[in-house]
Amino acid sequence: MNGVKLGQPGVFSPLGKTPEQLLRGILAAEAGAIASSDAFHLNRATVVGQAAALSQPLPESLAHWDCRNNRMLANCCEQIDGQVQEAVNRYGRDRLAVILGTSTSGIEAYENTLWADDDRAPEARSYDYRKQEMGTCALFVAERFNLPGIAYTISTACSSAAKALAAAARLLQQGKVDAVICGGSDSLCRLTINGFDALESYSKGQGAPLTQGRDGINIGEASVLFVMTREAGGVRLCGAGESSDAHHVSAPHPQGHGAEAAMRAALAMARISPQAISYINLHGTGTPLNDAMECDAVFRIFGDRVPVSSTKGMTGHTLGAAGALEAAMCWALLSDSNSELKLPPQRLWGEWDSALAPVSLAQESHRLPRSGAYLLSNSFAFGGSNIALIFSCER
């Protein structure tokens, strides 16, 4: 089997802080982590997917990076610390890289500083602007693990973290490094919520992917870190397909040509046919245009044979972290924790939109095959930045 190995992920999400909690949440298909909040929009309450509070600041030695985005990453760093130390011992520190995706970085910390600056608070005067830079998260993780090698951040909106995984695989395949810490992190902030609302893309209530009358997204937050290596066995990233249709600055191509190209490229890299795919984790944002074009593209390739679902109704759309969060879901589905081989059922908050292409919605009765399962996960972004990832498990 080709591809690269993904170690057990470190997870911090609205559905929990371990892969097992994440698995239970998506299999239950409940939206308990989605709730209304008046903390982010300037004029009204909005529904968001909020993870647990983190009141403990970063250690003094890392205080210049302290913001919620990096505190979430620090939680994930603790979860993968053993894997990182094992890789350091095996390969040496300079043979490890860090590639992460984000779209918000530490913007929330800057927003809080602007509010505080009205009163000339001491924290405003001492604010370190590195906290809000897009490259912050990779540099923070590299410093946290004392890694002197390659460290960079990808920011391509909602495809960022998935592209970080693909870039990590390329580094390994080129032999430039022997292990990569990869994934993504995005924390809630006022900028993105008000921005999506200004674009008329934010749902007025609970986001409802694939349903009739759906009116937009709910934004969530998450951090996920993997240690990726060329080692044999385990859950593997075996295909990645990227495209850039550049149809519109914020709207997807109406027929999903770029999405289709990305999925076909991922199948080609994995050297499998569409018939080999056992489940598709849709990008499934809940906007009218995204769901329509994605179902069209999926149906053209897979017909109505493959069970599909969107998990964003349970976590919110975690933007730059979404590709990594949904990769962690696929990892959990392929792991021994999913002993019953279940799939995340599609929860509909309303009536199925019969105008969509007739893809097969995942049901509680669906099961993965006991061997040879391949899972596909889509991430599509503003500007037509598309990526599809394929995962499998080598036992």
How far apart are alpha carbons 73 and 225 in whole angstroms?
8
253 counts as catalytic: no
How far apart are alpha carbons 56 and 316 in whole angstroms?
25
Cβ atoms of 266 and 298 closer than 8 Å: no
How far apart are alpha carbons 160 and 296 in whole angstroms?
23
Those residues whose C-beta lies under 8 Å from the C-beta of residue 92, and which sit 6 or more positions away, are none
Q: Which residue in the list 158, 182, 189, 393 is annotated as catalytic?
A: 158
Cβ atoms of 390 and 376 closer than 8 Å: yes
Tracing tokens 């005067």 back to the chain, one arrives at: 125
> What are residue 329's phi and psi, to 5 degrees?
-60, -45
DSSP structure string for 253-315: PTT-HHHHHHHHHHHHHHT--GGGEEEEE----S-HHHHHHHHHHHHHHHTT-SEEE--HHHH
Q: Which residue in the list 137, 283, 295, 393 is annotated as catalytic?
A: 283
Structure tokens at 246: 């550049």
Q: Which residue in the list 137, 182, 253, 317 is annotated as catalytic?
A: 317
317 counts as catalytic: yes
R_g of the chain computed on alpha carbons: 20
Exposed e or buried b per residue across 369-394, where buried means at least 16 C-beta atoms within 10 angstroms of its C-beta: eeeebbbbbbbbbbbbbbbbbbbbbe
Catalytic positions, please?
158, 283, 317
